[in-house]
Structures are given as C-alpha cells and as structure tokens.
Amino acid sequence: MAPNSVVITFLIALPLLFESSQATGDATYNVVSYGARGDGKTDSTKAFLRAWSSACSSATTTSTVYVPRGTFLLKPLVFSGPCRSSRIVFQMGAATTLVAPSNYWELGNSGNWILFIKVTGLSIYGGTVDARGAEFWHCRRFGKSCTAGARSVSLFWCSNAVVSGLRSMNSQTMHIAIDNSNNILIQNVWIRAPSSSPNTDGIHVEASTGVTISASTIMTGDDCISIGSGSRNLWIERIACGPGHGISIGSLGGSVNEDGVQNVTVTNSVFTKTQNGVRIKSWARASNGYARNIVYRNLIMKNVDNPIIIDQKYCPGNQGCPHQSSGVKISKVTYKNIRGTSGTQVAMNFYCSSSNPCWGVKLQDIRLTYLNRAATSSCANIGGSKSGVVIPRSCF
Ligand SMILES: *[C@@H]1O[C@H](CO)[C@@H](O)[C@H](O)[C@H]1NC(C)=O
C-alpha cells in the first residue's frame, strides 16, 4: 500500500473510531451532528431518524441518541428496532423540547407522533415533548372532518424499557401509550393537558405485561392512567392525578373476543378533583373479557366525583351505546385504606353486570365523606366482604 493510501485510510477511519469506539463500549450520537437544529423552526425529523439509525446499528453495548438543549421541530417519526446494542438510550437535556408542527394536520392520521417499535433495552430520559394539540382538540369538539389524532410518545412491541423524567404536554390524544410490550418502567414523568381537552389520557397501557408506573404527576382531560385489555402485572404507585378522569381499567368489552386484565395494584396515590378515583368500566355487550386480582390501597380522594366506581354500563355521552348486559367478568377486587372527600353523594358506586355479577369484592378501612357527612353507596349485582370501618356503609 502506498503511504498516501495509508494516510487516507487512517483519515476515513478516524471519525468512525470516535463515533463507535470499540464493540463493547459506549457510543453517543448527537442529533445536531446529523443536521438537527434546535431553533424551533427547522424540520429535524430526518436528522433524528439518521441519528437513531446510527445508534441502532451500532455494535456497542450501549448507544445513546443525544438531544441537546433547544427546541426541535419534529413530524411523525418511527424509531424502529431491533437494534444491535443491548441498551439504547434516548437522552434529552433539562432544556430540550420536542415540538410538533403548529398545523395539527401534519401529524395527520399517523396515529402516533413519536413511536418506538420493537426496541429492547430502551431508556428515554429527560426532555419535554409538546404536541401543541389545542387546535386539534378544537376541531374534535366543533369540527366535522378532523384527522384521527396522534398519541405523543408510544412504545409498541418493546421490552425492558425505562421512561424517566419525561414531561409531556398537550398531546393530541394519549400522552404516553404502551402497547404489546413487557417489563416497562415509567417514573418521574409529568403530564399536562387542560381538563377540557378530549381523550388526552396520560398513560395508556394495552396488551402489556410487567408495567410499573411510579412517582408521576398527571393532569389531563381524560384518564390519568387507562388500562386496556390484555394487560397484566401492573404496579402503579405514588401518582398525583387531577384534573382528569382518574385511573381506569377499561373500557373493557369493546369486542367479543378480548383478553382480560389481571393483577393490577394501585397504591399510595392522591386524586384531586377528578371525575373518578379508581374505576373499572365495560361496555354493556357480550364479551369474553375479564378484570380480576385488582388491588386499590392507600389512596386519598380530594373532592372526587366518583371515588370508587365499577360501571358495567359504560356509555359516555349516552350516545349509540349497547344495551345488553356486559359479558366482562369482574372478580377479586380489593379496596383498602381509601380516605377523603367525595364530590357527589354516592362515593361508592358498583354497577355490575346482571349476567356476570361482580364477586370477591373486598372493602376494608374506607372513609369517604360528602359535605362533612357520610356519603352513600350504591350497588347492583355484586357480592363480597368487608372488614374494619367502612364509611359509607357497604351496600353488599
Ligand atoms: C403481580 O404483579 C407484580 C408486579 O406488579 C408481580 O411482581 C407479581 O409477581 C405478580 N403476581 C403474579 C401472581 O403474577
């Protein structure tokens, strides 16, 4: 080899050495090096995808996509796996914001704005995402032909993921969606949308196993956390929920053949001025679905309209709803140490299916008041037991 070509080979190899280091080390891919600009105006979508592609194909143990301070404009994008690295980090700084285009049509019918798909060992740290959903909500409320709307951050078919320190605001629809995934930890997230914004659930979990949601503040126009069919082994703790519609299992029974929900614990959480506290809801139609082994404990309700509710005749807006009895089977639900104030007279509302009554429901140490007096409870088709002091008095 001529000396010149040795030099040239070395020069070509140099940036590669810096970018990828050795196969066992770490590598960082800064989106700015790929052409992203944090000026809030430049479309950085392609740059983010290129940085992801480099990180995902890196042979290092850990590879990091780094987003420095600044405001980055992004159209819908899909970060796909599987990746070569066993750990892939999407790192944003404290002053990093990702914004959607101001025209809501640009998220179009994509369904998801920032979507991670089939990634194992993903960590998303820090940052703020702002989907600027206001005009979309307005269209939803008053318009005739709107786009379908997009979730802000979605993880589909992911495993061993962590989402930590993320702030998500003004999503068009759900803020964080976990679907068909397992072993997911979501912690220290902050979610905010106006209480009047439609369907802006905080965190939605669907068909996923082993999901922990911890130490998070969620203020939205819909459920703080919603849990759909096929979800199991969920641990939800230290959530400040409100405004919003509470923490809901359901709506279940949307279709006849539907997987159930089981082993869900909600603990050490506070609900402030929410429409519901802890709710299980199903449509009134035939279904193979179920919800079982659910534990709600150590919860505080502050002026919550329906602190404890099972609604098997769920029918929002009373429009076009089925009127059969729900096929969803609800059993082994424990309510323990739930205290505070109800915003309505009926603090415990159990409206179970006439064809599939709820069974194995336990009430222990409940104290819910309404206007400084004992609230009331209401029951249909439910059986179970109570222990300790239960106020309002159990109706089963
Ligand atoms: C229930 O879920 C928790 C995680 O929330 C898990 O640790 C536990 O093993 C699960 N129990 C069963 C019986 O699967």
Answer yes or no: is the C-beta of 324 below 6 A from any ligand 1 atom.
Answer: no
For tokens 């089963």, the residue is 396
Distances (CA, A) of 73 to 105, 107, 117, 184: 15, 12, 21, 27
With vertex at residue 214, the alpha carbon angle to CA 272 and CA 190, rounded to the nearest 5 degrees, is 60
Residue 245 is among the residues annotated as catalytic for this protein:
yes
Q: Take atom 4 of ligand 1 and give the residue whose Cα is closest.
A: 233
- Transcribe 190-207 into DSSP letters: EEE--TTSTT--SEEEES
Residue-wise pLDDT for 334-389, tens only, equals: 999 999 999 999 999 999 999 999 999 999 999 999 999 889 999 999 999 999 99
pLDDT at 23 exceeding the cut of 80? no
Give the separation between CA 313 and CA 296, rounded to whole angstroms: 21
Answer yes or no: is the C-beta of 235 below 6 A from any ligand 1 atom.
Answer: yes
Give strand pairing partners of 227.
205, 249
Q: Which of 138, 204, 245, 323 is catalytic?
A: 245
Name every residue whose Cβ is closer than 8 Å to that of residue 254 and which is 6 or more positions away in sequence. 229, 283, 287
Residues in the chain: 396
How far away, in angstroms, is 172 Cα from ligand 1 center? 33
Residue 360, CA atoms < 13 Å, CB-side half-sphere: 11
- Calculate the dihedral angle through the C-alpha atoms of 201, 352, 231, 288, rounding to the nearest 10 degrees: -120
Q: State the pLDDT at residue 8.
A: 43
The pTM of this model reads 0.93
How far away, in angstroms, is 263 Cα from ligand 1 center? 6
Answer yes or no: is the C-beta of 21 below 6 A from any ligand 1 atom.
Answer: no
Ligand 1 atom at minimal distance to the Cα of residue 234: 5
Q: State the pLDDT at residue 3.
A: 43
Q: Take atom 2 of ligand 1 and give the residue whose Cα is closest.
A: 233
pLDDT at 16 exceeding the cut of 80? no
How far away, in angstroms, is 360 Cα from ligand 1 center? 19
The preferred substitution site among 184, 227, 263 for testing ligand 1, maximizing ligand atoms within 8 Å of CB, is: 263
Are the CB atoms for 361 and 377 separated by under 8 Å?
no
Are the CB atoms for 298 and 268 separated by under 8 Å?
yes
Are the CB atoms for 349 and 375 separated by under 8 Å?
no
Answer yes or no: is the C-beta of 233 below 6 A from any ligand 1 atom.
Answer: yes
Residue-wise pLDDT for 112-169, tens only, equals: 999 999 999 999 999 999 999 999 999 998 887 899 999 999 999 999 999 999 999 9
Name every residue whose Cβ is closer than 8 Å to that of residue 336 and which is 6 or more positions away in sequence. 295, 296, 297, 298, 362, 364, 365
How far away, in angstroms, is 168 Cα from ligand 1 center? 28
How far away, in angstroms, is 117 Cα from ligand 1 center? 25
Number of alpha helices (DSSP H) and beta strands (DSSP E) in the chain: 3, 31
Residue-wise pLDDT for 173-196, tens only, equals: 999 999 999 999 999 999 999 999
The preferred substitution site among 182, 185, 233, 268 for testing ligand 1, maximizing ligand atoms within 8 Å of CB, is: 233
How far away, in angstroms, is 266 Cα from ligand 1 center? 13
Answer yes or no: is the C-beta of 263 below 6 A from any ligand 1 atom.
Answer: yes
